Amino acid sequence: MIDLPHWHRRPGAASGGPIVIFDIDGVLSDARPRQHHLRGGSPDWHNFFSDGIHDQPLTAGVALAKVIAVPIVAVSARPNHVHTDTVEWLEREGVPFDLVITRPDGDQRSSSEFKAAELAALRQAGYEVVLALDDDPANVAMYRDHGVEALYIHSGYYDIDLGWDSESGS
């Protein structure tokens, strides 16, 4: 069983087999109130991610997570330093999960590059990704390019020109 430092496994979690990947921001949590941190020429990623503990749940995404019949892996480009807040938020909102994967601190890859590497690591660890849900069109395309059925969840975050490259965010 592979366990990487930025993988946070729930006790008793599945250690392989079929899984569904859920993105967090824009799929399970409503990050709209945090978007102001990203406006302008210099996005404030630190406060954007740190404020995620205060997000309201997105009802449809959380409801879907609760009825999925296979283990859920939350894969987020949130930095690893907010993993405790992320796990706390998921637990508080009743989102079932077996594994939470966050981006290692200092990782500057685009969201889709990071998530492609994690997809490969999950497969190497014996997981079979049967579906992925994401609100970033680049991530949905990446999953599909890697042979994973992927559902695009419209969050609206990528419809607004925030003056930054969406590939660097979550």
One-character DSSP codes across 36-94: GGG-SSS--HHHHHHGGGGPEE-HHHHHHHHH-SS-EEEEEEEEGGGHHHHHHHHHHTT
Number of domains within the chain: 1
Please report the pLDDT score of residue 1 as a whole number: 58
- Has residue 1 been placed in a domain? no
Please report the pLDDT score of residue 87 as a whole number: 95
Please report the pLDDT score of residue 163 as a whole number: 45
Which residues of the chain are modeled with pLDDT < 70? 1-3, 158-170
Of 151, 135, 168, the C-alpha closest to 23 is: 135
Specify the pTM.
0.85
d(CA 140, CA 92): 27
Please report the pLDDT score of residue 43 as a whole number: 85
CATH of the domain at 71: 3.40.50.1000
- Has residue 2 been placed in a domain? no
- Has residue 68 been placed in a domain? yes
User: Does residue 32 contact residue 55 with C-beta atoms inside 8 Å?
Assistant: no
- Has residue 91 been placed in a domain? yes
Residue 113 tokens read as 């590059």
Question: Range of 85's domain?
Answer: 7-168
Please report the pLDDT score of residue 166 as a whole number: 46
- Has residue 85 been placed in a domain? yes
Please report the pLDDT score of residue 170 as a whole number: 47
**Which sign does the torsion angle of CA 27, 110, 46, 99 carry?**
positive
User: Does residue 85 contact residue 110 with C-beta atoms inside 8 Å?
Assistant: no
User: Does residue 143 contact residue 150 with C-beta atoms inside 8 Å?
Assistant: yes
